[in-house]
A = this chain, B = another copy of it.
Amino acid sequence: MIASPEPLTSDLRVDGVRLLDRLRVLGEVGSTGDGGCARLALTDADRAGRDLVLAWMEDLGLEVGVDEIGNVVATAPGTDPDLAPVMCGSHIDTVRTGGIYDGNLGVLAGLEVLETLATAGIRTRRPLAVAFFTDEEGSRFAPDMLGSLTYVGGLALEEAQDICAVDDGARLGDELERIGYAGPLPCPGVVPHAFVELHVEQGPVLEAEGIHLGAVTGVQGISWQELTITGQSNHAGTTPMAHRHDAGYAAARIATFVRDLATELGPPQVATVGRIELHPNLVNVVAARATLTVDLRHTDEVALGEAERRLAAFCEQLAADEGVTITSVLLARFEPVAFDPAMIALVEASATELGHSVRRMSSGAGHDAQMLARVCPASMIFTPSVGGISHNPAEYTAPAHLEAGANVLLAVLVALAEVVS
């Protein structure tokens, strides 16, 4: 718990055009040609994005370090070298059909804040750091938020290095070496004085209520499972329906159950089957094997556990009914996180001070800030997502909202780092 800082009253503002320019230029790296981005963690496209942001960090004269899991931290020194840094940041990896704001905003707004302060000749007692963490999305290597989890000591480095990609099976440690981001700094890393992350909401709430910004109170718990169903491949024309052990049908039953479960339990329960793969995956063969993922999220740990239990019971009954076997591997499991009350209050007060409407809200998505919250006071600032669209090339946040978020980030960071001149 940090001492409750007061929001900074100042006329200092970020350069919104410069921020937007950097977002656009980074968005061209791994562009999908439809306004979106595909920079899956530790791919060549991710390397190109990293190289670009790292060059920008160096251009600003920041001290840049890369740690053993590929997290990159750029630091502007404080006047008191003994004090822990105030850190902001997020991630620059994307899902395969990502937008240009998710993650990138928090990193580039952090850079924009440091450039604004440097240009204005403002120094702080504490060092100010901006970080981007490896593999936040978890699309290529599970669990998600892998880099920040390792940074805070929640996952052993060696264990993280041995994780294999879901797409091509590549080992994470090898991929880090391959793209040149297996750095020398140790994991776990330096514990910040506090951490704040600016991020797009990725949901419809702020836009629907006409509110500029969110002060994030915490993050939903996440349960990711991979289910593997083994049935029996057979001829689609000659095998009577009653004789089938159809792994594809069982996968479909789980996918519809998961939707029914979330609907029955009601908000804030959400549940998704985003990945299904059949084998041999042919039109005229009853599937022998199916792999699918289930993503369950809830703000309450007890409720999340209950959803997991209901799914397990359904799978057990389904396996018996269909004569298939169903095994489950937990890909990621994070309990709900509550952010530091003083940090939440600081975000809220800073937004109000700058004339923006703001509401407290929890996050439906996982974020690096929830990992940092394990070791230091943390919170987040949300900007509206038009239509609630996220993980989609059509993801969009209005420039005025991006700038508002960056200005609140500026205010929060200087309040925490204590301006000396």
Question: Which chain A residues have a beta carbon within 8 Å of chain B's beta carbons?
Answer: 95-97, 137-139, 142, 144, 201-204, 220, 222, 224, 226, 232-241, 243, 246, 248-249, 251-256, 259, 262-263, 267, 269-288, 293, 295, 297, 331, 363-366, 388-392
Cβ–Cβ contact A240 & B389, under 8 A? no
20 of the cross-chain contacts (CB-CB < 8 Å) are: A95-B285, A139-B284, A139-B285, A144-B284, A202-B237, A203-B235, A204-B240, A224-B283, A232-B392, A237-B270, A238-B364, A238-B365, A240-B270, A241-B263, A243-B388, A246-B259, A252-B273, A274-B278, A274-B281, A274-B283
Chain B residues with Cβ under 8 A from A226's Cβ?
Answer: 283
> What chain B residues lie within 8 Å of A365 (beta carbons)?
235, 237-238
Contacts of A279 in B (CB 8 A): 97
Q: Which residues of B contact A273 (CB under 8 A)?
A: 248-249, 252
Complex CA distance for A3 and B204, rounded to whole angstroms: 76
Residues of B within 8 A of A267 (CB): 240-241
- The residues of B that contact A249 with a CB separation of less than 8 Å are 255-256, 259, 273
Q: Is the CB of A138 within 8 A of B295?
A: no
Which of A202, A254, A279, A284: most chain B Cβ within 10 A?
Answer: A284
Do the beta carbons of A389 and B274 come within 8 Å of each other? no
- A139-B284, A239-B270, A284-B272 as given contacts; A233 in contact with B392, CB under 8 Å: yes
Residue numbers in B under 8 Å from A233 (CB-CB): 97, 391-392
- Decide if B238 touches A390 in the complex (CB within 8 Å): yes
CB neighbours (8 Å) of A388 from chain B are 234, 238-239, 243
Q: Shortest 5 CB-CB distances between A and B: which pairs? A: A252-B255, A238-B364, A203-B238, A235-B390, A236-B272
Q: Which of B240, B274, B287 contacts A282 (CB 8 A)?
A: B274
Check if A274 sits within 8 Å of B236, measured CB to CB. Answer: yes
Residues of B within 8 A of A286 (CB): 272, 274, 391
Most buried by B among A226, A271, A277, A390: A390
Q: Shortest distance in angstroms between A220's beta carbon and chain B's nearest beta carbon?
A: 6
- A372 to B: closest C-beta gap in Å: 18
A238 x B201 contact (CB < 8 A) = yes
Are the CB atoms of B364 and A237 closer together than 8 Å?
yes
Central interface residue in A267, A281, A283, A391, by most chain B CB within 10 Å: A283
Nearest-neighbor residue (CB-CB) of A261 within chain B: B241
The answer to whether A275 and B278 touch across the interface, beta carbons within 8 angstroms, is yes
Contacts of A274 in B (CB 8 A): 236, 248, 278, 281-287
Would you call B278 and A276 a contact (CB within 8 A)?
yes
Instruction: Looking at the assembled complex, report how far the CB atom of A362 sits from the nearest CB atom of chain B, in whole angstroms.
Output: 10
